[in-house]
């Protein structure tokens, strides 16, 4: 259960958590056209609270809305400010923020031209997405029988609510079979991403991640690519196959919720020694130092509340 906070921001107003309700005719509920973000605010080592890469997340929210032809009736600056304000109102030192733009009541059917676009921002406390044990020791992944979206079926650069039906099916399949997470191949058969994370592999010191053609342009992915370059780790954005993943020395998943979670096994094959490898551990430590405000060179990624 999500632990209730005091308020939820809805269409420009703070309302009590339990009163943030919508009508059953809300268009998005029927057809899956909504766009959202997942953002983390961290309790920094110096005691302050900082939102990680807030402008980049809000930009992606507006990009998603643009692709989906939804006009969010607030400016990006106003949404950024509302994200900070909800943390203050809810007195949360650390939280996960969920801006969600959706199509409200009006006409039904597939052409909701004049239905209002509504915007909610929810904040709740969310621990390690793939478990405390998973983030330390690594998780067990399974290649999904469900393919990731084709570029011309769902728009993968948009974080659209309906896209996640595909993720839910994959995640359910993987967990029902006793695995922690689903790893999805694209429609050409190459490794794409996990149900809610981007994926990286390491072999002979080279860090590799699939190109952005048909995966969500992850902000954690982007952060890891920049951190790796700074640490002198060679990186390459390139397609790779399922057996290349099996043969990786190291592999890990990245996402706002999942942060940097090592993969210790895929389809019953140990990845490397079956424990988080040195490059994974180095990048994970670097990521946590940055989000907690411990790295002076990366203050640019923090918005203090």
The interaxial angle of helices 219-230 and 54-67, nearest 10 deg, is: 140
Least CB distance to ligand PPE at residue 68 (A): 16
Contact, 148 vs 136, CB < 8 A?
no
Q: How far apart are CA 98 and CA 71, in angstroms?
A: 18
Helix axes 54-67, 76-89, angle to 10 degrees: 130
Q: Are 115 and 103 in contact (CB under 8 A)?
A: yes
Given the residues 6, 136, 142, 159, the one annotated as active site: 159
CA distance 26 to 17: 19
Q: Which residues from 221-280 bind ligand PPE, rule CB under 6 A?
A: 221, 254-258
Q: Is 92 in the site for ligand PPE (CB under 6 A)?
A: no
- 159 catalytically annotated: yes
Binding of ligand PPE by 197 (CB under 6 A): yes
220 binds ligand PPE (CB under 6 A): yes
Choose which of 193, 240, 245, 277 interacts with ligand PPE (CB under 6 A): 193
- Residue 118 engages ligand PPE in binding (rule: CB under 6 A): no
Determine, following the binding rule CB under 6 A, whether residue 161 of this chain makes contact with ligand PPE.
no
Determine if 99 is a binding residue for ligand PPE (CB under 6 A). Answer: no
Site string for ligand PPE, 33-72 (x = CB under 6 A): -----x----------------------------------
Residues 195 and 171: beta-carbon distance below 8 Å: yes
The full length of the chain comes to 305
DSSP E strand boundaries for the chain: 7-10, 13-16, 34-36, 39-43, 49-52, 95-103, 117-124, 139-143, 181-185, 191-194, 198-203, 206-209, 235-237, 250-255, 259-266, 269-270, 302-304
92 versus 220: smaller Cβ distance to ligand PPE = 220
CB of 125 to ligand PPE, least distance (A): 14
The SS3 call for residue 56 is helix
* The only residue of 198, 261, 280, 284 in contact with ligand PPE, by rule CB under 6 A: 198
Number of residues this chain uses to bind ligand PPE (CB under 6 A) = 16
Cβ of residue 193: shortest distance to ligand PPE, in angstroms?
5
Q: Which of 34, 138, 141, 196 binds ligand PPE (CB under 6 A)?
A: 196
Instruction: Fill in the DSSP letter of residue 149.
Output: P
Q: How far is the CB of 122 from ligand PPE (least distance, A)?
A: 11
The residues annotated with a catalytic role in the active site are: 159
Residues in contact with ligand PPE by the rule CB under 6 A: 38, 167, 193, 196-198, 216, 218-221, 254-258
């Amino acid at each position: 259960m999500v632990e209730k906070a005091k308020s939820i921001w809805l269409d420009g107003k703070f309302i009590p958590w339990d009163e943030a309700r919508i009508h059953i005719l809300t268009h998005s509920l029927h057809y899956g056209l909504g766009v959202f973000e997942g953002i983390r605010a961290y309790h920094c080592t110096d005691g302050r609270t900082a939102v990680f890469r807030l402008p980049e997340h809000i930009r992606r929210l507006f990009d998603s809305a643009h692709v989906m032809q939804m006009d969010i009736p607030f400016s990006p600056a106003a949404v950024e400010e509302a994200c900070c304000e909800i943390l203050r109102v809810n007195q949360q030192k650390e939280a996960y923020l969920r801006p969600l733009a959706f199509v409200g009541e009006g006409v039904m059917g597939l052409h909701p031209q004049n239905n209002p676009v509504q915007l909610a921002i929810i904040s709740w406390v969310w621990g390690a997405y793939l478990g405390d044990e998973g983030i330390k020791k690594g998780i067990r992944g399974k290649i999904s029988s469900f393919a990731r979206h084709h570029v011309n079926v769902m728009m993968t650069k948009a974080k659209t609510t309906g896209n996640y039906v595909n993720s839910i099916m994959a995640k359910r399949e993987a967990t029902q079979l006793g695995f922690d997470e689903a790893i999805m191949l694209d429609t050409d058969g190459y490794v794409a991403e996990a149900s809610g994370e981007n994926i990286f592999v390491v072999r002979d010191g080279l860090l590799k991640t699939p190109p952005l053609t048909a995966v969500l342009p992850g902000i954690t992915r982007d952060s890891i690519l920049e951190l790796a370059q700074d640490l002198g780790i060679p990186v390459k954005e390139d397609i790779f196959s399922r057996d290349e993943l099996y043969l990786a020395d190291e592999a890990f998943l990245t996402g706002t919720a999942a942060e940097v979670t090592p993969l210790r096994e895929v389809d019953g094959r140990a990845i490397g020694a079956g424990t988080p490898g040195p490059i994974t551990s180095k990048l994970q430590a670097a990521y946590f130092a940055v989000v907690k405000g411990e790295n002076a060179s990366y203050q640019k990624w923090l918005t203090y509340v």
